[in-house]
Structures are given as C-alpha cells and as structure tokens.
Structure 1
Amino acid sequence: MTQGERPGGGMAARVVADNVIAARTDAYFNRTRAIVERFGDRKVTYAIFLRRPVISAPRLMVEWLHAVAAESGATIECTVMFPEGTWVGAGEPLAYITGSFAQLAPLETLVLQLLGPACVAAHNAYQMAMALPHVRFMAMEARHCAGFDMQDQMAYAASVGSSAARREGAQGFIGGANDATAHYFGTSRGLGTMPHALVGYAGSTLAAAEMFHAVYPDTDLVVLVDYFGHEITDALEVCRHFPELAATGRLAVRLDTHGGRFLEGLDPASSYAVLERHSPGSIRRYRSDKELRYLVGTGVSAAAIWRMREVLDEAGFAHVRIIASSGFSVEKCLSMADAHAPVDVIGTGSFIPDRWSETYATADIVAYDDTPRVKVGREFLLRRKSDL
C-alpha cells in the first residue's frame, strides 16, 4: 500500500506525500511556496467557488485535506459553507480553507480537482432523480470515466445528488454498477445482470436468460432484449419461458436499443401513434429536434418504452418491469417525464457533466493574517461577519 493510501481506493486514497503533491500541482504554486518560505510565511484563507449553480459535494476534498494535514503535520482548517447535498448558487463560496500559505499554495490545484466535478455531477443526478421521482436509477458511470479516481468521484456525486432528491420524495439512485463504489449507495455489491456480449455468446436472448438463471437462481432476472433487434419478440419469449418470475415481479426487460434504429415494429409514424394513445400532450406542443428524438426517434425513446409496456400488458405480463438505458441525460429524463414513460429503472452514467468547463472550480485568497484582501472583482468572496 503506497504512502497515504487506505483500503477502498479512490479519491480518499490519493497519495498525500509532499513530493507527489508537488509533482501534480501547477509549477507556479511550487514557486510561490519557495518564495513565501524565504520571505516569511503567513496565515491565509482561501475561498472556493463555482460559476454555476451546483449541489454541494465536498466530502472527498475535505477527506483529502485531512489526510494531507495528518501526513504533513500542518494545521488546515476547512469550513464548508453548504452542507453536503444542499443547493449552492453561482459564485457562492462553497468552502473556506485556512492555514499556512506555504502549506496551502501547492494544494490548490488538487483541491479544485476534487470539488468542482463532483458538485456539478451531483446537481445533474439530483435533476434526473427529480424529473422522474417514481423511477429508480442505477449509476453506470464507470465505462465513461478516465480511470478509477474519476469513477469514484462520479459515483460519490451521484449518491449525493440522489440523497438530496430523496429528501424531496424521489427514489433516486439505488446503487452502482460495480462493487468498488457500491458503498456510496449503502450497498456492498454492484448491480447488473448481463451485457450484450453474453447474449451473443449464448446465441439467443432466451438462452442467455436460461444461463443466467441457472447460475444465479435467487437473483431477479433482467434480460437485455435488443441484441438481435427483436425486442418485443424476445421479451415475450423470455416471459413465457419464466411465467413464475414474470408473475411475481422477478423478471425485467432492459431496453438498450442504439440510436441507429427503432425498436422492433416501430417507425416514425407508429412512434407518434403510440404517444398519441398514451401521452398526446407530449407531442402536440412545439418540440426541439432533440426532444422529438427522445420522444419518437430511434433508440430508447418514450414511444419505445410505451410500446414495450403495451405489449407486455396485452400478453398478461403486467408485473414484468422495464429497465431503460442509453443516453439518459437530464434532458432525456425531462422528456420521459413529460411523456409519462412507464419505466421502472434507468441505468445511466450521463450525470457526468457534458461540458467539462462547467466543472472548473476557482480558488482565491480572501484574507492574509486575518486581514480581508482579494483581487478586484472578487469582493463577493469575502467572508461576512455572519459566517465567522
């Protein structure tokens, strides 16, 4: 185990050795430290903020600062201004960090990495859960992340945004796709059943379902039905093969149809007809091209979900659940809510920010030896007396 690491891995296990911090921070912060050490250290206070509204997700940053302080023997005070899971307005200081200028200067780069992305992803997860409050979500961010540090940060963020939404009555995220980040959702294991590769290996959707059930008979059966482009045919075949699982709610079909084609049996006209039957208001108003794609386009549209629900109910499988995945961003969730799409669970990693520039946090020193001072234009960061 490397210096500063602890079991579990992830952001909290980042190496905190001084030489590693120096190698990962911006060079001008290391030079600042050398200058301050020569001409006299001072006590400073940093304010950290983002330029857009977010959900406060500071835990990984605070844990890392505590680890650095313990490793170096430095005294670092971190005051979080907004409790985890609360809304933060654009430009409002999320935290104030006070300590030795020489000690804190090299930490700025890494602190910003740990705070900004998590806060934006948490806000996205919150919006998704609130758009569809009766739907359960599963975090599937890992495949879209640049390594485990990012994966850990995004899973944490999803749990924070989800917890905020649950306080307002939403179901939110019930777990993640792997064991390493399951603890953020209060579970010990990752969720999920089969990938497309298993269906291809089995040679048919039913064969894959049979194989899975043979190995995991006590686990609910979730069948991925889009591999052969016969979502409806294959879903019904599996349901008829496992009538007891279907009747007791232990069977679900997962729709992951890619954007290059429609669900089996659908086309533009029939997709409009499906929504005309179930949610006419959603297609009778002006819609952007993106909204129309989510509602009646290719892939996992609202019409596709409604069509699958129709077919299952007509065949007597009302207790079979529908799980949807494939690009479920905040915007797509809002469109699904508008169409009242009968989806039970959504698997998504699209709470990861679309524009990484939105995640850029900024830090400014706002006090030197307890004397307020900040660059012109950032006076809004100065601590109010009520904050002290």
Structure 2
Amino acid sequence: MSAIERDDDHRLDPAGNGWPTTLRHPTPDTLSGYVDKYFTRTKDCVAAFGDKRVTYAVFMRRPVTCATKLSVEWLKWMMAERGAEVDIQVLHKEGAWVGAGEPMLYITGSFYHLVDLETQYLQKLGAACVAAYNAYTMCVELPKTAFLAMDARHCAGTEMAEIMAYGASVGSAKAKKKVGAIGFVGNATDATASYFDQNRGFGTMPHALIGYAGSTVRAAEMFHETHPAENLTVLVDYFGQEITDALAVARRFPELAAEGRLAVRLDTHGGRYIEGLDTAEAYAVLDRKAPEAIRGYRTEAELRSLIGTGVSAAAIWSMRERLDAAGFPKVRIVASSGFGPEKCRVMALAKAPVDVVGTGSYLPDKWSETYATADIIDYDGEPRVKVGREFLLRKGES
C-alpha cells in the first residue's frame, strides 16, 4: 500500500490530526485574507438572510487523473475547525481517469461555512490532478525505468512542491498497479519523500560541486569521502566530456562500478551534442541499436529527442555502448533535462537504456489546464445550476 493510501503513515503530523503540516494553510485565523472577495461578501449576505444546505459539484475542463486527497483533507479539517458538518462524496478512486467536465466531488453542507473555502480547495486540487496524469503517462511509457521527482526548484513555493510530489505519487501508484511499472522511487527533498515511501530525499551533486572541485573525478572523490555509504551518481556534462569523464570516474571507483552503486548522469543542455556525437553519428548509433526508431515518419520534436542535441536517445545509447565496451556494464545511466510525457514516449520508441529519469517536467505545461471549478447544483434539496452546467447535476435530476 502506498503512502497516499495509509492512514497511519509518517507523513501525518505528530499531533495526530491526519493532515500534512506544510499544507495546513491557510488556517482559520488567516483564511479571510486569501479568499476571493466575492466569496466573503456572499458569506455576509447569507449571514444576513439565512443559511441553506447546498451541494457543490467540482470538475475540471480537461481529462485528468483523480488526485483529490489533499484538497478533501484540507476541507474536512477546516469544516471541523468551524464545528460544521460536511458530506464529501468522492466520485472516483485515487488514480482513476476522469473525463473533461465530469464531476469529481460532490460537497454538501452549510452554504455559510462552505462559501469562503472554495478558493483554497480548488487550488489544492487541479494542479495535483494534472501532475498525476502526466506522471502516470511517463511511467507507463517507460515502465522499466525508475523516476525521481526533481521538481522542487521549479515550484512556486513549498505548498506547490507538496502538491506536485503528491500528484506524482498518485500517477506513479496507478502505473505500478496497471502495468507493473517501476514508477517514481523517490524525490529530491526530505519534506515530501514519504509520498514515495522514503524517509529522505535522493540526490548526489549539482554542477556547482564540480565547478568547486575543478574536475569531475575530484568532485566524485569529495562526495564519496564525505558520504561513503551513499550510492554515487556523478554529473558528467560540466566540461563537455561526457564519455571521457564517465569512464574516468568508473576507473577511479571500480568497486562501486562493479557493485552497481555508481551511476553517471547525463544533463547536457540542448545547445550542443554530448562528446563524440553529431547528427551523422547520432543516426548511426540508433541505426545500430534501435533502427525502428528512425525508419518511420517522425515529427521534428520527435527527431530532436531521438538524434538531436542534449540528452537524446542517441546520447544515452552512445554512453551505454562506451561504458559496456570499457568493461563497466553495471554502471547505471541517469538522464535528466526536459523529460516530460512526450520525451518519455520517444525514449520508449528507441528502447533507450536509461535506468533512472530525473524529472520535473511532469509539472503542468499549461497552467490554465489546472483550473478546477465548483458550481452549486442544489439549494435545500432543490436542483439548480446556471444554464450550460446541467451536466453537473446528479443522475436523474433535472
């Protein structure tokens, strides 16, 4: 059972309130400053003219993977803090596919107590569902590859980082169940590691350590001397000598290489080829290793991922060839740089021998696609919704 499904996992706060501490924001004391003003003014009107029991339908405008738990738990907590009852009907299991416009939640309770909570529970819902959708797609495309969530630096604050980690864990869990994928095995920060059944984040070194050390091999030595019990993953693109430096590190640490505890990370930017590659050689590599990938029609974007600059399928195959030829078949390859759903699909076409993908690119490309919407569909038992949203009504209502 995954961390998102457990009720007793270490993600929950020590006070036993059943809610991740970093997402218990805003609190009852700070809420009003973060709510859309028309909701607080509506609340004033309801206070003056009388409350009603209402039902909200919550939906999104694009297909997503259901990832509602963070939103639902926050809403339950806030209503409990107010001493108000709420009935939340979650219409899909975590990880289920949800169509565009299909209700995900029905939320029933006091209009007075619910009206000013909409801003926040929608914020915690939409982006998580799109991240889960993207993460699932990537894991399914490369089921034999492990993924690391490296999105934290690209998130707009710690709350978004938690939501994105949660979304990735939901998509990963679905891929594991559906196709037996390895999926996401960890992430980059301690705070959200438990979503991936880990007690800490993963990571070895940034490019800055190599610049500090003055050479790739020396940076590897510094890391290993400081963290001798850790597996060693070494960036090899800093000096533009990916093959040379990868082999040099493997020769410096032959025991780690033989034990499978050494990995090289390809993170070459799109402005150049990795060492030893050009367009002709990239075609030649794939012709040797995955000819079917280049013999059919490919779009320009697909060709960039197959034989272009940066971390292409040809680059990964080239690294694998050179490591194997030098006697290092157990040195693993970690690839990063732009690995989203489409690039993962292309890597699958080329059967790229990548052991681990480090990605933040499951983050939504279009933020407008993450917008979740809530409409009231029932007032004191009378079905009513604005014209054009009748599809949100419960079955049998009109």
Normalising by structure 1, what TM-score?
A: 0.96
Letter in 2 for 1:320: V
Shift of 1:21: 2.0
Q: Is 2:113 the partner of 1:103?
A: yes
Question: d(CA) in 2 for partners of 1:246 and 1:258?
Answer: 26
Tell me which residue corresponds to 2:221: 210
Tell me which residue corresponds to 1:172: 183
Tell me which residue corresponds to 1:300: 311
Residue identity over aligned pairs, in percent, reads 62
Question: d(CA) in 2 for partners of 1:28 and 1:202?
Answer: 56
SS of 1:10's equivalent?
Answer: helix
Tell me which residue corresponds to 2:8: none
Letter in 2 for 1:205: T
Tell me which residue corresponds to 1:274: 285
Q: Is the CA contact 1:16–1:71 (under 8 Å) kept in the aligned structure 2? A: no
Question: d(CA) in 1 for partners of 2:233 and 2:50?
Answer: 64
Q: In the alignment, which of 37, 46, 69 is matched to residue 56 of structure 2?
A: 46
Question: d(CA) in 2 for partners of 1:208 and 1:385?
Answer: 66
Tell me which residue corresponds to 2:77: 67
Q: In the alignment, which of 335, 359, 373 is matched to residue 384 of structure 2?
A: 373
SS of 2:295's equivalent?
Answer: coil
Question: d(CA) in 2 for partners of 1:242 and 1:302?
Answer: 26
Letter in 2 for 1:102: Y
SS of 1:79's equivalent?
Answer: strand
Deviations 1:68-89 (A, max 9, x none): 0121111122111101111111
Tell me which residue corresponds to 1:346: 357
Letter in 2 for 1:30: T
Aligned pairs (5 A) from 1:184-223: 184-223=195-234
Normalising by structure 2, what TM-score?
A: 0.93
Q: In the alignment, which of 10, 13, 23 is matched to residue 22 of structure 2?
A: 10
Q: Is the CA contact 2:79–2:113 (under 8 Å) kept in the aligned structure 1? A: no
SS of 1:90's equivalent?
Answer: coil
Shift of 1:6: 9.1
Question: d(CA) in 2 for partners of 1:188 and 1:195?
Answer: 21
Q: Is 2:151 the partner of 1:141?
A: yes
Q: Is the CA contact 2:307–2:313 (under 8 Å) kept in the aligned structure 1? A: yes
Q: Is the CA contact 2:126–2:371 (under 8 Å) kept in the aligned structure 1? A: yes
Q: Is 2:124 the partner of 1:114?
A: yes
Tell me which residue corresponds to 1:324: 335
Question: d(CA) in 2 for partners of 1:79 and 1:154?
Answer: 23
Question: d(CA) in 2 for partners of 1:246 and 1:208?
Answer: 16
Shift of 1:7: 8.7
Structure 1 pair 212–7 and aligned structure 2 pair: CA distance change class (3 A):
farther
SS of 1:343's equivalent?
Answer: coil
Letter in 2 for 1:239: A
Shift of 1:345: 0.2
Which range moves more in the overlay, 238-247 or 337-346?
A: 238-247
Letter in 1 for 2:73: E
SS of 2:124's equivalent?
Answer: helix
Shift of 1:384: 2.2
Question: d(CA) in 2 for partners of 1:93 and 1:23?
Answer: 28
Question: d(CA) in 2 for partners of 1:10 and 1:335?
Answer: 36
Moved over 3 A (4+): 5-9
Tell me which residue corresponds to 1:131: 141
SS of 2:93's equivalent?
Answer: coil
Shift of 1:273: 0.8
Q: Is the CA contact 2:270–2:310 (under 8 Å) kept in the aligned structure 1? A: yes
SS of 2:388's equivalent?
Answer: coil
Q: Is 2:65 the partner of 1:55?
A: yes
Deviations 1:128-158 (A, max 9, x none): 0000000000000101001000001000000
Shift of 1:285: 1.6
Tell me which residue corresponds to 2:275: 264
Letter in 2 for 1:10: T
Q: Is 2:33 the partner of 1:32?
A: no
Structure 1 portions without partners, runs of 5+: none
Question: d(CA) in 2 for partners of 1:14 and 1:188?
Answer: 23
Q: In the alignment, which of 161, 167, 172 is matched to residue 151 of structure 1?
A: 161
Letter in 1 for 2:176: R
Q: Is the CA contact 2:26–2:34 (under 8 Å) kept in the aligned structure 1? A: no
Deviations 1:195-254 (A, max 9, x none): 100011111111011111111111111111111100000000111111111111111100
Question: d(CA) in 2 for partners of 1:266 and 1:43?
Answer: 66
Question: d(CA) in 1 for partners of 2:277 and 2:155?
Answer: 33
Q: Is the CA contact 1:255–1:325 (under 8 Å) kept in the aligned structure 2? A: yes
- RMSD (Å) for aligned C-alpha atoms: 1.6
Q: Is the CA contact 1:50–1:90 (under 8 Å) kept in the aligned structure 2? A: yes
Question: d(CA) in 2 for partners of 1:379 and 1:354?
Answer: 30
